[in-house]
Amino acid sequence: MVSRPTGGVALGLLATLLLVAGCSPTRVVSTLSPTSHLEHAPAIAYGSHLRQQLDVYRPQEGATSAGAPVVVFFYGGSWQRGDRDKYAFVGSYLAELGVVAVVPDYRVYPEVRFPGFVEDGAAVLAWVERHIEAFGGDPDQVIVMGHSAGAHIAALLALDTRYLQAQGVTRAVPRGLIGLAGPYRFDIDSGRLAEIFAADDGTGDSQPMNFARADGPPALLLHGESDRVVSADNSRQLFERLCDAGGTAEVIVYPGVGHMRIAAALAPPLSFAGRSDEDVAEFIARVTGESTGPSAEDALTCGERLNGAANAAAGRPKASPAEPGAPVPTG
C-alpha cells in the first residue's frame, strides 16, 4: 500500500470554517479532499433502481499492482437517506492506501424496509465479484466497511451468510469488517424504527449481534466514547459476542470523539480530527497480509480479553453489554 500524505493546515482550516458556516460536512470534506492520486469511475449501475448505483475509486494506473485489495464502504443516514457523492473523501482516502474503493448508494425507507437495503449491499458485492478485476481489484480480497447505519449493513453482510448466498456470491465474501460507530443491537419496537424493521417481527434478524460466529471475518470496531447518536456499547457488545463465538475482533473506543468525527477523520483535510484513519489503514494492511504488525496499544482484542486484569492494568476499554435505553441510532 502507498503511504498516506498528511493533510495541509490551510485545507484543514478552510474545512473547519466551512463546517462552522453550516455547509454539509461530508460534502465539504469531499470537495477539499485530494484527487490527483486517483481515478474515479462514477454512476455504475449494479441494479435497475436509480439508487442502485456505485462509484469506484482506484489509484492512478501504475500506482499499484493489479489485484489490489477492495473496500466496499456503506455510508450512514438512519436507513432513510444518504448520497454517495458526499463520501468521495472516503474513496480518496482508500485510494491513497492503494485500495480499490467502492462507494454505493442503496435504497432507503420509505421506498424499502429491512432487509431491502441489506439486499442491495449483497447486490453490490455480487457486482464486485463479477466486475472489480476490470478496475484492478481482487474479488478474493474484499473488506466491507461502514459508518453508522452503513456499519449495520456491512456487519450483516459479513456475519449473516444468507444475503450473499442468495446472490450467488462465492469469491467476494468479506475477508474483513470495519465498523465505525455502528448500531449492532438496538430497540426496534417503537417509532420510525418499528416501521423500517417491521419484517424482523421478533426474529432478531435485523441485529448483527445475533450472527456472531467463529468463522466470521476479522472485525475492527471503532467508536467514540462521546457518541450521543449510537452508544459505544454497541461496538463493545458486538466485540464480546464475536469473541465468545470464537471469532477474531478488536475494539477501540476513542475518548472525546463523537458520532461524525470518527468518519470525518478519514478525510485528508480533517485528519487532525482523530486517528481512525491510521487504525483503519493498519487493519487493512493486516487483513490483506501486507503487515504483521500488532494492533494499536489501546485496542482490546479477543486474545487480550481473556486476561481482564492485564487489560485493566493497561487502561484498555472494558467491554460491557449495551444498556437498555441507549440512544436510538439516527446516523
Residues with active-site annotation: 148
CA distance 7 to 319: 33
Angle at 236 between CA 201 and CA 304, to 5 degrees: 135
- Is the torsion defined by CA of 161, 100, 290, 224 positive or negative? negative
Q: What torsion, rounded to 10 degrees, do the Cα atoms 279, 282, 284, 285 define?
A: 180
Give the other-Cβ count within 10 Å of 272's Cβ.
Answer: 14
| First CA to last CA distance, the chain | 30
Helices 116-131 and 149-159, interaxial angle, to 10°? 60
Q: What torsion, rounded to 10 degrees, do the Cα atoms 159, 243, 224, 71 define?
A: -40
Closest to 33 measured CA to CA, from 70, 3, 6, 60: 6
* Pairing, β 53-59 against β 100-104: antiparallel
- Cβ–Cβ < 8 Å for 251, 317: yes
Cα separation values, 236 from 215, 243, 318, Å: 19, 11, 8
Show the cell assigned to 231: 452508544
User: Can you list the positions of beta strands (E) in 19-136?
Assistant: 38-45, 53-59, 68-74, 100-104
DSSP, collapsed to helix, strand or coil, labels residue 31 as: helix
